[in-house]
Each structure stands twice: as C-alpha cells, then as structure tokens.
Chains A and B, each alone.
Chain A
Amino acid sequence: MSKRFAFCLLLLISCLTLQMPVCAEIILNESDGKGEKRAIDYFDLPLSDLMKMQVKSPSRRHQDLSHSPSAISVITRDEILKSPAHTIPELLQYVVGLDTFIKTYTDMDVAARGRAHDDTSRMLVMIDDQVVNVVPFGGMQWPTLPLTLDDIDRIEILRGVGIGVYTATSLAGIIQIYTIPVEKRDSLKMSLSYGEGGTSHNSLQFAKPLSENWGFAGTLHYVQTERKGDKETSEATAVAPNWKIKDWASIKGVNFRADYQSGDFDYHAYGGMTTDQEGYNASPGDHAIDRSEKETLVFSNWLHQDLANSDVINLRLGYRELWQRNERFDNNQYVFKYKVEKGDGLDIDLQYNISRFNQHSLMLGLNYVYLKASREINNISEPYVYDESDILHALYIQDQFFILDNKIQLTLGGRYDKWDNLDREFTPRLVANIFLIPGELTLRVASTTSFAQQTFDGGYYFAEFGPPNTGWFKGSTITATTNNSGEVIEGAGRGSEKMIAHELGLRWQPTPDTMVTTEYYYNKVSDVLGLVVYDTVPVGDIEIPNLGAATTDQEHIYQGVELEIQTKVSDNVSGFFNYTYQWGDDSSGNTLEFFPENKASAGVRYFNYFDFDIRARYVSEVTYSEVPSVPADSYSSVDIAISKLFANQLFAKLSAINLMDNQHYEYPIYTQITRKAMLTIKYSF
C-alpha cells in the first residue's frame, strides 16, 4: 500500500511539475503556429481583445459555471429573498439531484444522489469555507445553524465528489453557504415573518464600518418552528397533558461577520451561536414524547494574503460545537433523562495557490482536523459513557490548466488523508471540461475517488431504562467487532467506505440567458458502512443485539440522470425545470429503495409591479429500510411567493409552502407536512 501510494503521489506531483510552462508576468513567449517563438506584448493588445481575456482564478471560489469541475447549482441572493422558502432545506428541495426529507420541522435530511437517508454525514455543509456538520453523527441540524436567510449571499451546491479538495469524505456532495460581506449589508434591518401553525422567523441585523479597514455586522434571530400544542394528538394529551407538544422548536441565535481589508491582506470572520428547545410527539400510536435542548456554536476565520509574486496564501481556522440534552416522557413519568452528548471539531486548512504560471492554477494544502465526541447516559441499567476523539492529518494538491489549444480544461487533484482511527487513504481525482463550442457547449467528464469514515454516533447501544422500558441509544463507533465471548473478529468492524465515481455532464448555453445541464453519474460504493452485531444483551429469554457501525462486504451502485433547464425569457420572466431519475442496486441484486426514483421540479418567476415566484415539485415513493412496511408515498407540492419592495426600504412577501395543503409525509413516520402560509415584512432603516 505504502509503496503504491508513494508511487502515485510522486507521479501526480511530477506530472504537475512537468506541466508548468515558463512564463513572464506580462510579456509571454508565444508560439506563432510555425513552431517559432515570438514575443507578444500585452500592452499592444487592442481593447477588444482585452475584453475577451479571462481573469485567472487562483482559488476555488467564484468560478464560471462552464469552467466548474463539479456538477454545480447556485442559488442567488435575489432568489433566496423572493422565494417561498423560509428555511435552507425548503430552498434546497428544488435543486436537481438533491433529496430533501423533512422528517420533522427540526430534523431534515439533505444530501445528493441518493444519500439523504441517514447518510447526511456524506454531504458536507460549509459556511464561508468552514465545515459545520455536527461532530457526533456528522450530519446537519439545519434549524439550529446560527444563520438566517438574510445573512446569505448565495448557496452553491456541488453534487457528487467533484473535485472538491475540502475533504475526501464528501461522498454525496458539498453545500457551500456564503454569507454577505459587511459592505453589502444594510446598516439596520428588521425582518418579521408570521404564519400558519404559529411559525415565525424574526431577525434584527446591523452592519457598521468601524474604520477604514474594518467592518462589522451582526444578526439576532428568533425562530418558532410551530406553536406548541398545535395539532396535538390525543395520545400526546393523555401522556403529558401539560406539555402541549406536537413538533415545535424555539431557537434563539446570534451571529456576526467581521471583515478586514488592507492592501493585499483580507480577513473575515464569521461566527454564531444558537440555543434551542424543541419537543416532539410522534405519530398517533406512539405515546412517548421527546424533548431536547441544544446549543450550537460555529466560529470561522479566513485569512487571505496576496504575495508579491502573484501567489496567494489562504488560511482557515474554524471551530464547531454541539451540546445536546434529551429526555423522554411516557406514562406520566420520565423514561430517561440527561442523555447528554457533546461534539467538538477544530478545523485548520492552510492553502498555497500558485498563480504565477500562465494557464495553471496550482493549489497545495494542508488540513488538520480534531474531532471529539462524548455521551453520558446515567439513569439506565448500565450507565453508558463514551468520550472519544479522532485526528486527521491531510495534504492535498490540485492543478487546473488548459490543453489542446484551450479546448480542454483539466483539473487534477488528490488528497492524502490519515485519520488516527483509520488506515491512510489516497483519493485522486480527474476532471476534464471539454469546450465543444467555446462559451456555448461544454462536456464534463470526471472520475473521482472518495471515502467515508464512521461517525462517532454510528452504533446503537441497547439498554434497559426504568424497566420494563428497553431500547437502543445511538452510541459510539466501535473500535473492534467481537463475538459474545469477547474475541475480536478479524477484519470486521473498523474501516472506511470507499467510492469510485464517474460523471458525464453536458452544459449547453444556447443564449446568454439559457442554460441546459444534463448529468449522468455512476457511483460504486464498496465496503458499505452498515450495522453489525458486536454484542448481545440478554433481556428475559431474548438476546438483544447491540449494533455497531462497521464496514460490511456489501457493495452499492448508485446511478442517475439529472436534467436542469434555466432560462430568462425576458427582463420580467424567468423559469426553471429540473428532473432527476436515479436508481441503485446492492451486491445481492436488491434494488435500493431509500431514495426517490423520480423527482421533478419547475418554477416561474415574474417581475412586475409585484414579483411572483411560483414553483412545484413531484417526488416519488421512498421506502426506508428501518420501516419497510410503511413507504413514504409519492407527493407533490406547490409553493408560491408574491413580494414587493417599496421605496427601497420596505419589503413585503406573502408566501405559502405546500399551497394546496397536500398533506404528506416525506418520511413515513414523524411529522405530516401541511401548508405553511407566511407573511414577511422587512424594513431597512
């Protein structure tokens, strides 16, 4: 392994190095097509040629879509502002290739290409380049992000592994959220939204330049996902008459952004914290009521330094933390209490961009991640405590350059990752953007590799609590699989899930205002992370298994076709349509059913005296392995928003999610999704 790895790394580095042309700053030696070199003086270039020249992009930010090495969708600020959505998952539901299951109004799974089902750890979520996936289980708790829609400048969704060098473990893709720079914000802005079910979203934003170089902005927000007691089931009333619980959360948050710029140096920091209290009473028939409290903290720093030789240094330093306490109430008593978990993550990324070589954008980076998770459950038959950590040391390299008379842009990259609890991994990636008709038709071919490690919370720990109650708790990743005699089963348990992905995409831009994108992907996942029995607990006459997340000998193949059309018909009318068809099989020949086979979305935006945004989507049936007898039926939803900006200060929006009140489940148990009509007023002082 090590020799092969070293060989591959050497190959990669040497070929990238060989590829570098020797170049000057402004005046370059060019071929005149006859094999002779001649000097081209850029100072003599006519303005018409200058207008066509491209700015070399040394970093991984703000790239033209046709040059993007990843399958990418972008949600702009204007779309966010005028759309019917009030949460990020509601926005993401309309992105091609992205599955979004709203299980409850506080529990939403979002991931691309068939991986949304409890696999959200494979979808990386970042705010301003800082990973915000919570540490214990690796997924996302969207409502408790310290962020409002008014803080977001744009959202970029990269489906599939792509070429993202942020991490080797983003098997499903990356959701990258960029916040608004201080200089683009209003000095004081208030936003109030109220709607059906007691839902409300409120925020107060301020922004202020502190000096010539410094700017500071902050946001206070309060969200009530649904009123307590609304549509409370009779079972809930019987079990806990005073709790008034259906599916609600009260979230208070504060966030800030600080920007500094001086000459060649840029710095920005983003951070925030939320406290959350939430409760949930499951569907009729389930008497138990869960309540939880959470505190979420995110803090990121981004430093950017232009060097005199045109190179660029980027340094990211981020921290994320989740603290959570749960309690369950049933039969007029606490079933368990003080189920406490905590997760911390420290992320450091040092990146050096070499842009002095013409045609090449070379990126070298070092990545350090420290993760720590702990859990304490004391009032059960066997107190259960774990406190574990894992450390990543990684380095990555990426080069982007043109070949064959600029007709092909190649992006080559690779990462070397060493998690303390895993063997080292090397994941090379190769993407070619072939400009069949420059500026109009681009073919994208990608072959990439990736892997996923176990999360801390991957296992299920069985325990008795207040007998006769029994059940499973989410538990720690196991370090070894044993039989009931305690003997380690060799080769079982630890390891990583591995994926090889092939993508073929076509981007056609027949006019500047129309973009048609099609993608085909083939993802082969081996050593699939699943659940294995690592111990059994005798309960009466029955042996109850404890389950641990571990690699299995299963192999899954995911395939899909994505079509996306975006067009601007006139200055007043624009529209989109997208369709996703995806399918998958495991190595036993069984069809994977935990994602919808068909998903279609369409929308029209019309701007006149009022701005209209009307959109609809259809999602086909899904069957989850843990509740195979209750499939989530196919459903459709129509969402609408009518908005207007008055005197550049007052913004009013009337919106409805699920306008036709097509009551449905996006997950077969938990919360039934109903209509949410909302009125929003924003005022900029």
Chain B
Amino acid sequence: MYRTRLFFSCTILLISSMSNVLHADQLTLDEQNLKVLFLLNIVRFSEWPVLEQVTTNLNICHRDTSTSFKRALKPLEQKTVHGFNLRGITIDQNDDINDCHVLYIGSSGKLKVAEYLPQVSDNNILTVSEIGGFASRGGMVELYKEKQQIKLIINMDAVRKENIKLSSKLLKFSTVLREEEGIVK
C-alpha cells in the first residue's frame, strides 16, 4: 500500500512537471472579470440617443455588486468607447441616477429589481444584470452562466422603449426576448 502511495505521488510530480503553455483562446477567467468584459462589449455595441450632447464620460453605474466585481471594473476606467471615457460609479439608495448611461445590478439586488427598474425608466439608461430572469422582468440585458460560459439574453422591447440601439454584432450572439412573442432566437 505504501509503495502504491509513493508511486501515486511520484506520478503526480512527473505529470506536474509537464509545464503548460498558455494560449489566448484557451484561457479561463474569473467570473467577475469575464462579466466586466461582456459589459464592455455591450457598451461598445450600444448607441445612446443624446450621448454626445451632454458629457465626455460614459458612466457605468452599478449597485448591489460584489467587491470582486468592483475590483474587476477598475481597469475599465482607463478605456474609451465611442470617444468617451468610461467611468464606474457605485450607486447607493439615495444617489442620483440621472448621469448614468448604464446601470449594472449585481446579484444582491435580486429582490429589488422591481423597485429599481421603474426608477431608471425614461432616462435612456441601459440596464444590465446577472440576476436570473432579469430580462423577462423588464430588464434589458441579462448575463447568465451556461456550461461554464457567459451567455446573453436581450429584452428588445425594453431596449427600444429607452431609444437605445444595439448593434447586430451584439444581437447575433444573444438570445433575443420580445415580451409579446417570447424567445425568438
């Protein structure tokens, strides 16, 4: 038995010494980092009706998000999209959301979605969340995990209602939900 254990351990050492070389298309990422990258791409493929007239910043507001999400969001602030500087803003209960272009709701806000969505209505704010059922509850973009990958559900009716345009480049990788028709893609 002891010899067997020794054999196992040596085998482990041998196999472990076969150093792995990383390739870009094989990498895995921490879930929050991956969600932030998706958020960046969602912003890239979105158009707001009056963005250029009012600001030089594109504000990504977020509430009920975890520390790891906030940390993952930090590097985004060095980026520009459509010529605007990206800025991350943590939103609390009484904060003004008028300056937000995107509102990301973290999983802790799952019980308050019905309260949050009316607050951002008619403000041309793109709503994004990782909360299950977010799109079917009136949110615009829902991120969900399937087989260890991040997938998108987009509620087109909610998006159009806020006069936001989403590129077909984004839509072709998403499941599109129309409230009256159900899932069409």
B119 at the interface (CB under 8 A from A): no
Knowing A28-B22, A430-B8 are in contact, say whether A264-B68 is a contact too (CB < 8 A): yes
Q: Scoring A residues 270 to 281 as 1 if CB is less than 8 Å from chain B, else 0, what string do you get? A: 000000000000
Knowing A31-B21, A53-B29, A402-B20 are in contact, say whether A262-B108 is a contact too (CB < 8 A): yes
Knowing A15-B17, A213-B108, A405-B23 are in contact, say whether A47-B41 is a contact too (CB < 8 A): yes
B150/A359 in contact, CB under 8 A:
no
Knowing A54-B28, A430-B15 are in contact, say whether A8-B5 is a contact too (CB < 8 A): yes
Query: Which of B32-40, B48-56, B96-104, B121-129 sits within the interface?
Result: B32-40
A420 at the interface (CB under 8 A from B): no
The number of chain B residues with a CB under 8 A from chain A is 62
Beta-carbon contacts under 8 Å, A31-70 to B = 31, 33, 40, 42-43, 45, 47-57, 63-64, 67
| Distance to closest chain B CB from A448 (angstroms) | 9
A543 at the interface (CB under 8 A from B): no
B12 at the interface (CB under 8 A from A): yes
Q: How far is the CA of A427 from the CA of B68 in the complex (A)?
A: 35
Query: Which of A17-25, A114-122, A198-206, A229-237 sits within the interface?
Result: A17-25
B170 at the interface (CB under 8 A from A): yes
A498/B1 in contact, CB under 8 A:
yes
Beta-carbon contacts under 8 Å, B41-83 to A = 41, 45, 64-68, 71-72, 75-76, 79
Beta-carbon contacts under 8 Å, A162-215 to B = 183, 209, 212-213, 215
A51/B12 in contact, CB under 8 A:
no
B181 at the interface (CB under 8 A from A): no
Knowing A306-B66, A308-B71, A430-B12 are in contact, say whether A359-B5 is a contact too (CB < 8 A): no
A4/B28 in contact, CB under 8 A:
no
B148 at the interface (CB under 8 A from A): yes
| Distance to closest chain A CB from B27 (angstroms) | 6
Interface size classification for chain A: 35 or more
A681 at the interface (CB under 8 A from B): no
Q: How far is the CA of A403 from the CA of B2 in the complex (A)?
A: 28
B148/A50 in contact, CB under 8 A:
no
Chain B minimum-CB-distance residue to A213: B108
Q: How far is the CA of A33 from the CA of B26 in the complex (A)?
A: 13
A42/B37 in contact, CB under 8 A:
yes
Question: Which of A51, A67, A212, A263 has a CB less than 8 Å from the CB of B173?
Answer: A51
B15/A403 in contact, CB under 8 A:
yes
Q: Which chain A residues border B145 with CB–CB below 8 Å?
A: 55
Interface of A is mostly: mixed
| Distance to closest chain A CB from B88 (angstroms) | 14
A56/B11 in contact, CB under 8 A:
no
Q: Scoring B residues 93 to 133 as 1 if CB is less than 8 Å from chain A, else 0, what string do you get? A: 00000000000001111111000000000000000000000
Q: How far is the CA of A432 from the CA of B107 in the complex (A)?
A: 34
Q: How far is the CA of A209 from the CA of B22 in the complex (A)?
A: 45
B31 at the interface (CB under 8 A from A): yes
Q: Which chain A residues border B26 with CB–CB below 8 Å?
A: 402, 405-406
B22/A359 in contact, CB under 8 A:
yes
Question: Which of B18, B29, B66, B71 has a CB less than 8 Å from the CB of A404?
Answer: B18
Q: Which chain A residues border B30 with CB–CB below 8 Å?
A: 25, 55-56, 310, 355
Question: Which of A50, A56, A215, A358 has a CB less than 8 Å from the CB of B38?
Answer: A50
Q: Which chain A residues border B5 with CB–CB below 8 Å?
A: 4-5, 8, 426-428, 449
Beta-carbon contacts under 8 Å, A357-372 to B = 358-359
A4/B20 in contact, CB under 8 A:
no
Nearest 3 interchain pairs by C-beta:
A15-B16, A406-B26, A8-B9
13 interchain pairs (CB within 8 A)? A25-B33, A26-B72, A31-B23, A51-B150, A55-B28, A55-B149, A56-B28, A67-B148, A183-B110, A212-B109, A212-B112, A405-B26, A449-B4
Given known contacts A8-B6, A15-B17, what 18 new A-B pairs fall within 8 Å (CB)?
A11-B9, A14-B13, A16-B16, A19-B16, A21-B22, A47-B169, A53-B149, A53-B150, A55-B150, A183-B111, A212-B111, A213-B108, A263-B108, A264-B66, A402-B20, A406-B26, A410-B15, A526-B1
Chain A residues within CB distance 8 Å of chain B: 1, 4-5, 7-8, 11-12, 14-16, 18-19, 21, 25-26, 28, 30-31, 33, 40, 42-43, 45, 47-57, 63-64, 67, 183, 209, 212-213, 215, 261-264, 306-308, 310, 355, 358-359, 401-406, 410, 412, 414, 426-430, 432, 447, 449, 498, 500, 526
Chain B residues within CB distance 8 Å of chain A: 1-2, 4-6, 8-13, 15-34, 37-38, 40-41, 45, 64-68, 71-72, 75-76, 79, 106-112, 145, 147-151, 169-170, 173
